[in-house]
Amino acid sequence: MAIRIFSACLLTLLSVGSANAISDSGNHPDISPPPHIQRAIADAHLAGQGSFRWFGLLIYDAQLWVGPQGYQVAAPDNAPFALDLRYARSFDSDSIAETSIKEMKITGSASDAQYSQWLRQMKGVFKDVVKGTHITGVYLPNYGARFFLDGKGLGDIPDPQFAHAFFAIWLSPKTSAAALRKKLLVDIGHD
């Protein structure tokens, strides 16, 4: 997933268009959600997973976790879900926030004032990551997004429009990471 949050280099690479995603995707009933995802989403299960690579270099592994209602492509804001990214490289938090805004602009149409506000909020929540760090973004309908670093709370951005725009980086049909989107939504179906 944010919060596949999610690094400057990583997201900048998404916009380059040279990336490809490979994956061991699909629903794996033997994989249990991490405790912080279990607490955020009742009966969470893995919907799909993939790896994001750029010029052969692994940037991160991503997992999409959904509850009993699943992820509804036609109505993505109806049910909670979590996007978990396990980084294979180090990235600083400001770059993660700045590149997230660039990617949000590709998939959305908020005002410049909204993007500026969201950038400030992300810079206040996101932390630097190193190899092996997990950042999880949880989409909470009618509320916004909650972020975790290695299972510990980072903070919330209580703005439904922000949450929609942020997770669209990976889940919108307009994403610059279409191959990864396909892997994340493999058991859900996608357009």
Tens-place pLDDT, residues 121-170: 999 999 999 999 999 999 999 999 999 999 999 999 999 999 999 999 99
Q: What is the pLDDT of residues 74-104, one digit of tens each?
A: 888 889 999 999 999 999 999 989 989 999 9
Tell me, what's the pLDDT at 188? 63
Tell me, what's the pLDDT at 55? 81
Q: Would you identify the CATH topology of the domain 8-184?
A: Chalcone isomerase (3.50.70)
Residue burial 81-117, b: 16+ Cβ < 10 Å; e: rest: bbbbbbbbbebebebbbbbbbbbbeebbebeeebbee
Give the 3-state secondary structure of residue 149.
Answer: strand
In this prediction the pTM is 0.83
